[in-house]
Amino acid sequence: MKNRNLFQRLQKKASSPFGRITVLTGARQTGKTTLIRKAFPDYSYITLDDPITRPDYARLSATQWHERYPVVILDEVQKLPALVDSVKAVYDLYPESRFILSGSSQIFLLSKISESLAGRAALLELYPLTLPERLTESWEDPVRPSRLIKLLSGKNREILKGIPQTEPDHAKAERTFSDYLAFGSMPAIIDENIEAHEKREWLRDYIRTYLQRDVRDLANLRELEPFVRAQKALANLSGELLNTSQLAKQSGISMQTAKRFVHYLELSYQVFQLPPWFRNQKKRLVKSPKVHFLDPGIQRILLGRSGTLTGNEFESAVVSEVIKQIKSEALEVSLYHLRTLDGREVDLLIELENGYIALEIKSSVKVTQSDARHLFHLDDILDKPLLQALLVSNDQRVHLWEKVTAVPAAWLLA
């Protein structure tokens, strides 16, 4: 069992005056149930996944809820949205009551929970495992922050110096990163004893379950085939600028439907839209977002591909890992990509209060200073200082070129 960064933060939030209703959401099979049952062993546990027992809970009054379940976990709460009104009533009538609500999508949150529990509920999100989480051995094994997180936290500017191969944990980090690129980081399939074909079969089943349950139940789609086409087309566009016109054409749907499908994929934690940075009014900058799949294993199964990743696939894998780590650490940063109309681009721009950290991402096993050319002279464009410029790749060496540091992806992120 792997430890999760969210474990202590979830416990702290749920025990605070502002966490009497704590909502944990995230994609299906990311470990929400395991986490909340481990974090709150003294809470009553109710799953609403069973249609037979659901009506029994729907009939309980606020007083009955409080008497029977003063502190309770309600899992898969999106299956019975009307129950949120009961939670609200108990919350308002009984100040000592506490609820942990869990669900596998934000879609239901946008309607029932946001309407009924506004100002009452604290929201936390659980993503697939990060690389530092994968390197833990148990719930008691602390999650050690990656070099990137240390850099973003301003703890140690010297952490990007050294020889990765001489460090005792680097070989394990490399193996973990390689498995992540091939199969993603869904908790059910990270065990190294699981055969590759079994991992791929699990991912295929996951996609079928996601389509048949999450999408159909939560988005009320009458036909899944157009959504399936759009999902596969978007997987092929991961790491590129989001062009809804192109997506609509490839999927055989209208532009409005394409936008709606992307929205569903984002709400259900399948993709992430990386907004453009365009504050410099003197430069001609691209204003379209980039789209990234949040799990490379799911993306590759959708595309029916294995083996070496394309440049765009590698970029999405690195960006999604950065996103997961930042969100699991609850860091107050903003994320962008930057592209000028004359072809200059930065794959990931991380904005801190006092400046930016820029990442250019290459899948190459051997990089040169030319690969970092877009990272030079960014101060001419940005509105705050460039604190660090990183070229992230599969090259196992660390290079220093003026203000640019080239680092191995696994060394930076694990």
What are the DSSP calls for 145-157, one per residue?
Answer: PPHHHHHHTTS-T
Q: What is the count of structural domains for the chain?
A: 2
Half-sphere exposure of residue 136, counting CA atoms within 13 Å on the CB side? 19
Check whether residue 349 and residue 233 sit in a common domain: yes
Distance separating alpha carbons of residues 30 and 69, to the nearest angstrom? 26
Residue 142 within a domain: no
* Res 342: pLDDT: 82
Hey, CA dihedral for 306, 311, 315, 318, is it positive or negative?
positive
Would strands 345-352 and 334-339 be described as parallel, antiparallel, or unpaired?
antiparallel
Check whether residue 100 and residue 248 sit in a common domain: no
Check whether residue 66 and residue 182 sit in a common domain: no
Distance separating alpha carbons of residues 230 and 152, to the nearest angstrom? 35
Check whether residue 63 and residue 158 sit in a common domain: no
* Res 167: pLDDT: 85
Check whether residue 104 and residue 250 sit in a common domain: no
Check whether residue 307 and residue 248 sit in a common domain: yes
Residue segments in the chain with a per-residue pLDDT below the cut of 70: 105-112, 156-157, 216-220
Structural tokens at position 378? 């960014």
* Res 78: pLDDT: 81
* Res 91: pLDDT: 95
Residue 97 within a domain: yes
Check whether residue 226 and residue 300 sit in a common domain: yes
Helix pair 170-183, 311-328: axis angle to 10 deg:
110
Range of the domain at 385: 147-413
Check whether residue 155 and residue 211 sit in a common domain: yes
Check whether residue 38 and residue 165 sit in a common domain: no
User: End of a domain among 61, 92, 126?
Assistant: 126
> What is the radius of gyration, based on Cα positions, of the chain?
22
* Res 157: pLDDT: 65
Check whether residue 95 and residue 53 sit in a common domain: yes
* Res 270: pLDDT: 94
Alpha-carbon distance values, 259 to 242, 255, 346 (Å): 10, 6, 25
Check whether residue 73 and residue 197 sit in a common domain: no
